[in-house]
Amino acid sequence: MREELHRIPAGSAVAKHVPSGLSVKVVNTSGSQVVDCWAFSSSDVKEFMSMEHTRVETERVSPAVGDSLYSNRRRPVLTVLQDTSPGIHDTTLAACDVYRYERLGATGYHANCTDNLIAAMRDQGIRLDSVPCPFNLWENAAVAPDRRQVIAPPVSRPGDLIVLRAELDLIVVLSACPQDMAPTNGPDATPQDVHFAIL
Residues 6+ apart with CB under 8 A from 146: none
pLDDT tens sequence across 93-149: 999 999 999 999 999 999 999 999 999 999 999 999 899 999 999 999 988 889 998
Residue 40, strand partner residues: 48, 171
Q: What is the rounded CA–CA span in Å between residue 185 and residue 34?
A: 6
pLDDT computed for residue 162 by the predictor = 98
**Residue 76 CB neighbour total at 10 angstroms:** 17
pLDDT tens sequence across 54-88: 999 999 999 999 999 999 999 999 999 999 999 99
CA distances for 110 relative to 76, 101, 192, angstroms = 34, 7, 16
Q: Does 1 score more than 60 pLDDT?
A: no
Strand 13-18 relative to strand 23-28, pairing: unpaired
What's the mean pLDDT in 141-169? Answer: 93
Look at the alpha carbons of 29, 31, 36, 39 in this order and tell me if their dihedral is positive or negative. Answer: positive
- 8 Å CB contact between 138 and 85: yes
pTM: 0.93
Rg from Cα positions in the chain:
16
CA distances for 42 relative to 69, 85, 119, 195, angstroms = 16, 29, 17, 23
Give me the residue spans of the domains in the chain.
6-198
